[in-house]
Amino acid sequence: MPSGGLYDELQRANKRSTRLLLAGGVVIIAVLIWVIVGILAPEAAFDPVFGVGVTAVGTAIGLLLTFIAYRSGPSIALRASKARPVSRQEAPELHNLLDEVCVSAGISGTKPKLYIVDDPAPNAFATGLNLEDSHIAVTTGLVERLPRYELRAVIAHEVAHIVNDDIRAVTVAVATAGLVALLADVIVRMMWLGGARGGRRSGGGGGGAQVIFLVLGLVALVLAPLAAQLIRFAVSRQREFLADATAAEVLRDPQSMVNALRRIDGDQTSLQRFEVATAHMWFEEPNDTQSPDASKGGNKAAKMARRFATHPSMKERIERLATLNAGTVSTDAPLPPPPSSRTDGPGSGSGSGTGTPPPPAPGSRQPGPPPPGRSSGPPGQGHPPSGPGGLPPFPGR
């Protein structure tokens, strides 16, 4: 299990960064609105009553728009990914896995709604406004390619985002970043339209203030989109580390979390249905940050893509999780066979295909005893499968 001190420090660091980034987002919005006012009416913007009053009103309106975007964010994300609700009758084993995770996380009374995305890439995401209004979507590729315990670990990662209140913070951050980008676009239009009219109205006066705000507008035009991206990335990137650690702690099975990260990292299937605005929500970065051909400058392109990635690399996540669980996980042991390579058919009742990972590396420290109701064994071996064979295919695909 993760070291208590280091794990708690991860939580505190995430809370601090969230507060600072969101507060910074409000300040950026206020500054951009003040610049817009200055472009339209340069002299009035410096007036302590009019300038501050108009900026405050504009900021309040902007925050109201952010709140509206925040409230509609989860439904937009689900529609953008074409996620559909999946009932227990359609996927009983998948619901059983979610039940196990929710019981372990202590939220069995407020279980998130489960969705399926018909996509061959192994991936998943969580969204929502709070614990009572939370949603988890997994792709068909994830269900088909991951053994049971690794699939449970990915679901636990998404539940961790809900328990840690990441879904709310990230939704607010994305809505704020969207407003910042919108204001930057307004500045461009005002510089060409409002600024020119303001210059004609002022005659010979206010020329110095006009120039000042035109320069500020150019600076804001360059920095505002970068600030919007930083707000999104800084919030989502750091929270992936904490969600991995939380999932490993909740399940007391860090090896399956590491195995899931390794298996998904090695899978080259690209996600077919995602929007750039929702890239931060997925378990794995859906944008291409790998270098296909180093001889053609691919390394430089990949480095640039990683700088603007919404997630830390899978290698970083594996290394961080291995550090938190030093001695209990192996990062280079052979992975368990995927469901597609199982030799037992449904109803055979054999133990193959349960997703049991290999024993820990020689000389490694054994994990502590499992909680009541769980079997003891090597890392990654939790509950026995609740049904024969693997997860059934979903009807209607």
Report, as residue numbers or ranges, the catalytic residues.
158
| 175 contacts 22 by C-beta, under 8 angstroms | no
Are 58 and 36 in contact, with CB atoms under 8 Å apart? yes
d(CA 136, CA 113): 6
Q: Which long-range contacts (CB under 8 A, 24 or more apart) does 171-174 make?
A: 171/70, 171/73, 171/74, 171/127, 171/128, 171/129, 172/22, 172/66, 172/70, 173/18, 173/21, 173/22, 173/25, 173/231, 173/232, 173/235, 173/236, 174/73, 174/232, 174/277, 174/280
Helix (H, G, I), strand (E, B), or coil: what is residue 78? helix
For 104, 230, 272, 287, 308, the CA distances from 301, given in Å and listed in that order, are: 42, 19, 22, 13, 11
The bridge status of strand 134-139 relative to strand 124-128 is antiparallel
Helix H or strand E encompassing 117: strand 113-117
